[in-house]
Amino acid sequence: MQLVQEYIPPSRESRNAAAVERLQQELLASLRMAGVNGWRGISLELQGGTVTLHGAVGSYYYKQLTQSIILRHPGVVQLRNEITVQEDHSEMKEVGT
């Protein structure tokens, strides 16, 4: 008697979860490849083709740059940018001192 293992294809949910995970990793890799250190605190949430960005960056420039990098990806249909800007004023000096 020979045992035969039946192939059970992955469910649609598990395929979708894998696709979402793959897209998330691709998007985060795109940010890393841009070479800006300010993205360490950025996270993203995916639902369908909608990406929601969370976290904080040091300037509005980085907020917009993050958005443009994510929107270039073909898997992204819509973007919600909830990134906040927390400018570092520690190096600023008062006028007249």
Q: Which domains, from first to last, does the chain contain?
A: 14-85 (3.30.1340.30)
Q: What digits encode the pLDDT tens for the residues 80-96?
A: 999 999 876 554 444 45
Q: State the distance between the two ends of the chain, measured CA to CA, in whole angstroms.
A: 91
CA distances for 30 relative to 1, 34, 75, angstroms: 52, 6, 13
Q: What average pLDDT does the structure give for the chain?
A: 79
CA distances for 41 relative to 27, 46, 62, 95, angstroms: 14, 17, 12, 32
Is the pLDDT confidence value at 13 over 70? Answer: no
- Assess contact for 62 and 37: CB atoms under 8 A: no
Is the pLDDT confidence value at 61 over 70? Answer: yes
- Assess contact for 46 and 17: CB atoms under 8 A: no
Say which residues have a Cβ less than 8 Å from residue 78's Cβ, sequence separation at least 6.
49, 50, 51
Does the predicted TM-score (pTM) go above 0.75?
Answer: no
Per-residue pLDDT at 81: 96
